[in-house]
Structure 1
């Protein structure tokens, strides 16, 4: 989270608060003032646990710093808290990807042995909503934005123009719209590009079906890709026991069996499509490396898709095999962390950019709130726990309060 660079003298300890966590290893004092705060958060796969276990003022966290911080957190969770660490989720920042690569010999590392429980493994994956946004960004740059990218597969181009044509056709229909596309979906700004719902509505099955129906032969590959991405995101965004039934989408049902057909779709159909696409581009003749790199997704996106798909499939199977009744894959995303940062900004009211001192004060306040929330089971607003409430309740009506009246006289 981005914070305000500022120094505060803390009278109780005599320290100056606002420097980065490893200030002694850097140069001048001006270079040691923190600009960001790194937060590690633990989330329960089959519980309501959401708790920040550590925060660090930083400026630019390296992969080696993350390595030491991560395994120290795992050590505390495994040894002192008796919690089993199954997976680690992060975005596709370069330091995060380098940190994951430190755990293996090749560039597609997605799991490693748990040092504090060698019979188990820890899986590494990228945040699914971030992946969806990067896929949309790759497609939005194809054939537009000065041709920074020109996606190609099976002899056909995957173009952003095909999505724009769906939006224009929808705007001509004044009675009802077939999709949820609006101006913000098509004309991306620095704000709209960060909205996950806009990316999900662009890469949706309804958009893919309309492109397939009205886009002609040239747009068939774009339609196929969009429909595959829609299923991929649904499989990684299962967040409720009944959402799949309510929306009549089997891909949103909770995972309860290791033989779930969605595992085959993710590992064979989706990843098979992505790998075949990469092989076609790499083997295309008559183009140099710079030109072929524009015909495929960015390497960071491709790597994130591969390691995330493998990690989610194996982690979900492991949990089911070891006694978990159902798995909601939305638990593997970073939404609780984003919510945690939102609470920090809300606590600051108009000052939504706290300093290190203010961030630390707010962090302890939020931890206390989460600690109290973990003690109270969310059983509804009409039940009471015998341990928390021993007051006898009856239905005797209360006496009416005497109302004070004001009498005025007029002469």
Structure 2
């Protein structure tokens, strides 16, 4: 095999061992340069080699001039692009020097001697030919000598180019390998670097590059993202593979959470809880109210007007049973507009989960009697669904305290008996501490014979004011002198009753920096001890981690001191005397005893510890925050917004187990994923019920309607076979006074004709119901159409507006008449649009028999007109009622001396 360490030119014996010679690859590109190299090599064996084989051959540096080299680095040189090696073989192996070659190259062509003698003086013929070609070449510039610094830069440039070339080659190979990988290989490789939700999102991008059904965990992720921010979801949808918005709407609408009992939802929960154990099903029942914006909205999906009070509990003035207990009646929508929504939620006791379970809209705060019935009903439904309720919690509102008394929960035994289950009770601890703070501001307490006052706390703040170092750094003016808004914040209250404040106050008392006399020092010391004791109680009632460094925040367990501290706290609270008649300390004692009672029952069932933070209302308060932020920053969402947001929350948070706990995530579907399978077909019953309601209404109102029929006169041709378009219905315009309302109704009639034409494109109906060939005002009813029109041509006074025919105008007038009469009485019924459609249909058939055509095609068109009329009336009347309510409320605020603070209205629900 030919060696790579020897020059391949004929007659050249230079090798890589020669100290002054360097070997260079044989150039094969471009082809013309390669051919010149081959011609000058003098080696016939090279002509039969391939380009790859030629590239493996070497040419020594003696065949090049010095100025034909590049110097990429120190001690390195390579031939320049386009450099041609020369054959320097002569007889007797004598090689001319480089100076001789340069002189030969500079000899002009006309100085050559064409004689044997001149050629004889040359060493050989080959040299003569080569010298001639050299003389024909243009003289080259002498190489520029580079400095050592430039040579170093040139070397680095060459090295960088080689590195870039190598990396580009690796990149091409990696891209080719990625193209050859399968989806499974990509996911398996990615699992080494990402996991959890990140890996699930990566799978969504890989698996859904083509159309594919979405998995349940993918639905949960998409619904959660859309719930947090619809705008962000729409933005990310354009970048990543995410479910389209129509799928999101369909998944949410699979479940229809209505006020009161949702039996289908209960059945879904039963299926989910069948596979859960005792600890996973153990929960805490909590309830509270959220304030909403009063008003009505038409829900086209379920065909009702939303916004009315719908507690679902009927209470007679007198008890129905001899024992004085009230019965739960059928749900019934009242005449009042809802201003609050009462929400019941079940939170996990052992495991951290939460589930919105039951809600009812109410006009104001729910009364204690109704609330007591609702609590009993919800507890029964919760056990039917599979939950095990161990504890109940609520805030200290007057209706809650009265309802708790009605349930038989007292200080000596804070427990409620439901069948064979004992359910303990406690108030929300953060609200209790806020109530204690607000009471202490204006009243003194007596604790173990010593006076506790708010004054030392103010003095401590004044003592620290302006100091560069503070023992209680969080104590500010907002804490010691709270305004109306700040009195509603729990955070400020618990920061006052902290260990830092108590320690600082006690130290300042011992240093006699607070107070004017010994009596003030005694009060300050008692106040400091009061803050420290309340801080320990709050820590015991708000434990969030079993491994907390604070021994009082480790939860209830046999290995912690929390149980002993709560027993001491119960005895200490009994010594507090409060002359303000505030229920805060009594409710605190009920809460402590209820928690201790719960712990004693759970210990007997093998539960090792519980976190007391799960026995307050934080989950429900956070849920209310989600309801508000779901619609942007909306302090008072409407009832429709609340219902829609609850449906999102149910889909996203439905019993999702926490990560890293003993509760394994099951592979079951979403509880509402097959919700439609429980839907019962009641279309026949629905149709019969609506027809019966319409008949009953006409039976009650026929006498009143017939007295007004004389205002409309219908003229029908005597020939029954005549075309339907010849039938005319004309109003008695002499009896009608021109009014803006009547002219607006004519404009609405023209708009309905426009919608019909856009949807069905029926020439017969358009000709029948419009008079678009009118070029002038015929009646006073056309005045509004004239002024609202943008004339398209000079002679067309109505522009592009559709002018209704007399027949359609009279039909719409009759529809308005019957709708106005029936709306006030039937605004709260279900299937409201179906009822009003049947109502106006029967009225039109009775008054205008020629309008109603019984062939399938035109019947569908007439149905479209009446359905559009009913929809517009329901939609806009609901908006007008809501606007009137808000205007009246705003007017009352403007006339009242003290305007309500919107922030206070919000925080009053926290």
Q: Same fold (TM over 0.5)?
A: yes
Q: Which residue of 2 aligns with 1:10?
A: 299
- Could you say what secondary structure the match of 1:86 adopts? strand
Distance 2:666 2:310 in 1: 45
| Inter-CA distance 264–73: structure 2 relative to 1 (3 Å threshold) | same
| Cα displacement (A) at 1:330 | 0.3
1:83-109 Cα deviation digits (max 9, x unpaired): 210010000011111111112285665
| 1:210 paired residue among 485, 504, 527 | 504
| 1:34 paired residue among 306, 319, 338 | 338
| Inter-CA distance 162–355: structure 2 relative to 1 (3 Å threshold) | same
- Could you say what secondary structure the match of 1:132 adopts? helix
Q: Which residue of 2 aligns with 1:262?
A: 562
Report if aligned partners of 1:23, 1:32 keep a CA contact under 8 Å in 2.
no
| Cα displacement (A) at 1:79 | 2.4
1:285-321 Cα deviation digits (max 9, x unpaired): xxxxxxxx24xxx431122112101001111222232
- Structure 1 residue 301 and structure 2 residue 590: aligned? no
| Inter-CA distance 317–4: structure 2 relative to 1 (3 Å threshold) | same
| Cα displacement (A) at 1:161 | 1.1
Report if aligned partners of 1:100, 1:109 keep a CA contact under 8 Å in 2.
no
Distance 2:660 2:357 in 1: 26
- Structure 1 residue 347 and structure 2 residue 636: aligned? no
| Inter-CA distance 322–25: structure 2 relative to 1 (3 Å threshold) | closer
Distance 2:423 2:444 in 1: 37
Report if aligned partners of 1:42, 1:51 keep a CA contact under 8 Å in 2.
yes
| Cα displacement (A) at 1:355 | 1.0
| Cα displacement (A) at 1:385 | 8.4
| Inter-CA distance 234–186: structure 2 relative to 1 (3 Å threshold) | same
**Count of aligned positions:** 349
- Structure with max Cα Rg: 2
1:104-146 Cα deviation digits (max 9, x unpaired): 285665112122xx1x3111110000011111112222xxxxx
| 1:224 paired residue among 495, 516, 529 | 529
Q: Which residue of 2 aligns with 1:312?
A: 595
Report if aligned partners of 2:390, 2:423 keep a CA contact under 8 Å in 1.
yes
Distance 1:93 1:270 in 2: 24
| Cα displacement (A) at 1:77 | 1.9
- Could you say what secondary structure the match of 1:6 adopts? coil
Report if aligned partners of 1:101, 1:108 keep a CA contact under 8 Å in 2.
no
| Inter-CA distance 376–92: structure 2 relative to 1 (3 Å threshold) | closer
- Could you say what secondary structure the match of 1:213 adopts? helix
TM-score by length of structure 2 reads 0.36
Report if aligned partners of 1:108, 1:306 keep a CA contact under 8 Å in 2.
no
| Inter-CA distance 376–168: structure 2 relative to 1 (3 Å threshold) | same
Distance 2:603 2:313 in 1: 46
| 1:368 paired residue among 636, 651, 657 | 651
Q: Which residue of 1 aligns with 2:438?
A: 137
| Cα displacement (A) at 1:364 | 0.5
Distance 2:629 2:447 in 1: 46
Return 5+ residue gaps in structure 2 as ranges: 1-289, 316-332, 510-520, 669-910
TM-score by length of structure 1 reads 0.78
Report if aligned partners of 1:108, 1:303 keep a CA contact under 8 Å in 2.
no
Q: Which residue of 1 aligns with 2:480?
A: 186
Greater helix share, structure number? 2
Report if aligned partners of 1:101, 1:107 keep a CA contact under 8 Å in 2.
no
Distance 1:2 1:386 in 2: 36
Report if aligned partners of 2:353, 2:656 keep a CA contact under 8 Å in 1.
no
Q: What are the equivalent positions in structure 2 for 1:48-127 lying under 5 Å apart?
A: 48-58=352-362, 59-81=364-386, 83-104=387-408, 110-115=414-419, 118=420, 120-127=421-428
| Inter-CA distance 42–155: structure 2 relative to 1 (3 Å threshold) | closer
| Cα displacement (A) at 1:21 | 1.4
Report if aligned partners of 1:171, 1:177 keep a CA contact under 8 Å in 2.
no
- Could you say what secondary structure the match of 1:113 adopts? strand
| Cα displacement (A) at 1:193 | 1.9
1:192-231 Cα deviation digits (max 9, x unpaired): 2222222111001221222223232232221221111111
Q: Which residue of 1 aligns with 2:574?
A: 275
Distance 2:635 2:399 in 1: 26
RMSD: 2.8
Distance 2:413 2:607 in 1: 25
| Inter-CA distance 331–299: structure 2 relative to 1 (3 Å threshold) | same
| Inter-CA distance 260–375: structure 2 relative to 1 (3 Å threshold) | closer
| Inter-CA distance 10–178: structure 2 relative to 1 (3 Å threshold) | closer
Distance 2:635 2:379 in 1: 31
Distance 2:396 2:299 in 1: 36
Distance 2:574 2:667 in 1: 57
- Could you say what secondary structure the match of 2:346 adopts? strand
| Cα displacement (A) at 1:11 | 2.6
| Cα displacement (A) at 1:52 | 0.4
Q: Which residue of 1 aligns with 2:640?
A: 357
Distance 2:472 2:385 in 1: 54
Distance 1:312 1:135 in 2: 20
- Could you say what secondary structure the match of 1:85 adopts? strand
Report if aligned partners of 1:43, 1:49 keep a CA contact under 8 Å in 2.
yes
| Inter-CA distance 69–155: structure 2 relative to 1 (3 Å threshold) | closer
Report if aligned partners of 1:153, 1:277 keep a CA contact under 8 Å in 2.
yes
Report if aligned partners of 1:211, 1:220 keep a CA contact under 8 Å in 2.
yes
Stretch moving more, 326-335 or 149-158: 149-158
- Structure 1 residue 233 and structure 2 residue 538: aligned? yes
Report if aligned partners of 2:409, 2:416 keep a CA contact under 8 Å in 1.
no
Report if aligned partners of 2:543, 2:555 keep a CA contact under 8 Å in 1.
yes
Report if aligned partners of 2:656, 2:665 keep a CA contact under 8 Å in 1.
no
| Inter-CA distance 385–150: structure 2 relative to 1 (3 Å threshold) | closer
Report if aligned partners of 2:298, 2:305 keep a CA contact under 8 Å in 1.
yes
Q: Which has the higher contact order (CA 8 A, sep 6+)?
A: 1
Distance 2:667 2:291 in 1: 42
- Structure 1 residue 152 and structure 2 residue 446: aligned? yes
1:325-360 Cα deviation digits (max 9, x unpaired): 321000001000000000001011043321111111
